[in-house]
A and B are shown apart, each in its own frame.
Chain A
Amino acid sequence: MSSQPLRPVPGPDDASEPFWEACARHVLLLQACGGCGTLRFPPRPMCPRCNSFEQAWVPASGRGRVWSWVIAHPPVLPAFADRAPYNVIVVELDEGVRMIGNLLETPNEEIAEGMPIEVAWEDVEDGVSLPQWRPTQ
């Protein structure tokens, strides 16, 4: 047994499985309503706008901006202890939806609201990749 604390990984459900399956291939997909086209994140079975159960998965641009961020200091989960203090950001994608991630390749003190960022994949386990973010190159 490894003594390395287990890193939390996504536990896909019926609604999110296509999202995480695409992430494993380093493709960022967004769930869209099959009835009215409204994007929704996180994924779910029904469109809150038109109540359609129809859905489509559309490629995201992978570009966005920093909407907010925190710097987490100890005590944190054991799996994150060796990287504290570490950042967590909310990114607003160009498509308008927001998601949570970490901003890589950036000192914590250089993070700023509105920074242009792009998706950068982090492989955390066999078959599990997280959409992460780095300054737009």
Chain B
Amino acid sequence: MNDYPRDAAAIVGVGHTEFSKNIGRPERTIALEAIKMALDDAGLTAKDVDGLVKFSLENTMEVEIVRNLGIPNLSFFGDVGYGGGAGCGAVGHAAMAIATGVAETVVVWRARNRGSGGRPWATRPTNKQPGEMQWFLPFGLSRPVDQIAMLTRRHMIEYGTTQEHLGHVATSVREHATRNPNAMMRKPMTMDDYLAARWVSEPLRLFDCCLESDGALAFVLTTPERAAALKQPAVLVRAASQGIGPDHLVMANYFTANPLDTPARYAAQELWRLAGMGPDEIDCAQFYDAFSPLIVISLEEYGFCKPGEGGPFAAEGNLKLGGALPSNTSGSSLSEAYVHGMNLILEGVRQLRGTSTSQVENCENVLVTSGNGVPTSSLVLRKP
């Protein structure tokens, strides 16, 4: 096998709209706003762009981006599937295109009006459920939170993970959000606040769930050589991985030999191999957190803890700024905004530029992960 091209592409521009419950502008418009901001941030224009990578679930097609932005010749485009699992993989695809010379400057974006746009799980058109839904929906296992709660209960059964452990995750993330002016939820939260919140799907409560948000984000990537001459300090893509384990079925992989091995277990092994480093070298992590237990499971799957130790690790304060592994330092999906995890990549870039509102000292290597209930992906970002 050829050597994996480490550090062969760099994030040179970031852009994002405000995050809100009702942004008041269509997804197409906010997608273009975020892309324009990312190009401006890099000091590049549409004339420089020759590649686009999007989420399969994205509603704005490449042709719309090309004809609105005025891209003269788009020679590379592609998309990555599985919703919240796609973000790091989309950046990884952009980096591969740049590393191989297929493209020089690639934009990755996601626009999603989920705060004002209703609940996708509640608007399925017919009562006959096709595909994997035929096994879940007739029984009322209908929402993402129900599917993740089922895994969480099993984690509690096998390892003794507690509701208080999840409370420590949620309150640690909120503590970071209190310092982030972009965050939608900046009010301090105590363990009592957490435990007093209503159930959504037992064993998960309201504050175990991400926010319903509108917003768009975009990233511009190019070669490290070109990056060196641009406005912002370059953030290198050390490595990116994707993963689907055996016998997986979208968000409810209860049918595999060990359902507590989510696709992240596989993406993690590949990431560390491709990056040529391990969890010990990571200064800061941004874990996908559509739901708080996903942080606990990710700590174990990415090798920061042994199976079952993720909850106690959070309870010891290790996720907080100053802890052993400052994590989700923007407030992330639980408290900043839920834009399919793309704001986790943004916060990874902020940490490496030194502009986070919860800045980790001497931050050199950052782990970013995408959704681990679904086929997933992950990134190591680093300073040149």
List CB contacts (< 8 Å) of B141-157 with chain A.
Answer: 141-143, 146, 149-151, 153-154, 157
Question: B residues within 8 Å of A by Cβ?
Answer: 119, 121-122, 124, 126-143, 146, 149-151, 153-154, 157, 198-203, 246-247, 249, 252, 254-255
| Cβ–Cβ < 8 Å partners of A98 in chain B | 254-255
Please, which residues of chain B bring their CB within 8 A of the CB of A130? Answer: 138-139
Closest residue on chain B to residue A67 by CB atoms: B154
B157–A88 contact, CB under 8 A? no
CA distance A104 to B50 in the complex (A): 57
Interfacial chain B residues near A6, Cβ < 8 Å: 126-127
Residues of chain B within 8 A of A90, CB atoms compared: 150, 154, 254
Task: Write out the residue numbers on chain B whose beta carbons fall within 8 Å of the beta carbon of A124.
Answer: 138
Docked Cα-Cα span, A41 to B257, in Å, equals 12
A42, B140: Cβ atoms closer than 8 Å? no
**Minimum-distance CB pairs A-B, first 5:** A11-B128, A6-B127, A71-B202, A8-B137, A10-B134
Alpha-carbon distance between A68 and B198 when the two chains are bound, in angstroms: 21
CB within 8 Å of B: which A41-98 residues: 41-42, 48, 67-73, 75-80, 83, 85-86, 88, 90, 97-98
Interface residues of A, Cβ cutoff 8 Å to B: 6-13, 16, 20, 41-42, 48, 67-73, 75-80, 83, 85-86, 88, 90, 97-102, 113, 124, 130
For the complex, give the distance between the alpha carbons of A80 and B136 in Å: 13
Interchain CA distance A42-B121 in the complex, whole Å: 21
How close is A65's CB to chain B, nearest CB, in angstroms?
12
Q: Can you list 10 residue pairs at the A/B interface with Cβ under 8 Å?
A: A6-B127, A10-B134, A11-B126, A12-B134, A41-B255, A68-B254, A70-B141, A70-B146, A71-B202, A77-B140
Q: Are B134 and A11 in contact (CB under 8 A)?
A: yes
> Is there contact, CB below 8 Å, between B146 and A88?
yes
**Given known A-B contacts A8-B124, A68-B150, A98-B254, A73 and B134 have beta carbons under 8 A apart:** no
Task: Determine how close the nearest CB of chain A comes to the CB of B55; give it in whole angstroms.
Answer: 25
CA A61 to CA B127, docked complex, whole Å: 29
On whether the beta carbons of B255 and A70 are closer than 8 Å, the reply is no
Q: Could you say which of A12, A80, A100 has the most chain B C-beta atoms within 10 Å of its C-beta?
A: A100
Say which residue of A20, A69, A83, A97 sits within 8 Å of B153 (CB atoms). A69
Minimal beta-carbon separation of B253 from chain A (angstroms): 10
User: Would you give the shortest CB distance from B124 to chain A, in whole angstroms?
Assistant: 7
Given contacts A8-B137, A68-B157, A100-B139, 12 further A-B pairs with CB under 8 A are A8-B138, A10-B128, A11-B129, A11-B133, A70-B150, A72-B146, A73-B202, A76-B140, A88-B141, A90-B150, A102-B139, A130-B138
> Known interface pairs A8-B127, A11-B128, A42-B132. Does A72 touch B254 (Cβ–Cβ under 8 Å)?
no
Give the CA-CA distance A83 to B154 in the complex, in Å: 24
Alpha-carbon separation in the docked complex, A124 to B139 (Å)? 11
Interface centre among A13, A42, A97, A102 (most CB of B within 10 A): A42
A86 to B128, CA, bound (A): 21
Chain B residue nearest to A99 (CB atoms) is B135
Known: A42-B249, A42-B255. A71 touches B139 (CB 8 A): no
Partner of A13, one of B127, B130, B136, B151: B130
Q: Least Cβ distance of A94 to chain B in Å?
A: 16
A123 CB to nearest B CB, Å: 12
Residues of A within 8 A of B254 (CB): 67-68, 90, 98, 100
Q: Which residues of A contact B129 (CB under 8 A)?
A: 8-11
Most buried by B among A48, A67, A68, A80: A68
Residue of B nearest to A70 (CB): B149
> What residues of chain A lie closer than 8 Å to B131, measured between beta carbons?
11, 13
**Complex: A8 Cα to B140 Cα, angstroms:** 8
- The residue among A73, A79, A83 with the most chain B CB atoms within 10 A of its own CB is A73
Distance of A6 Cα from B137 Cα, bound (Å): 12
Contact between A48 and B199 (Cβ–Cβ < 8 Å)?
A: no
Give the docked Cα–Cα distance between A18 and B270 (Å): 39
A88-B139 in contact (CB<8A): yes
What is the minimal beta-carbon distance from A68 to any residue of chain B, in angstroms?
4
Nearest CB on A from B229, distance (A): 50
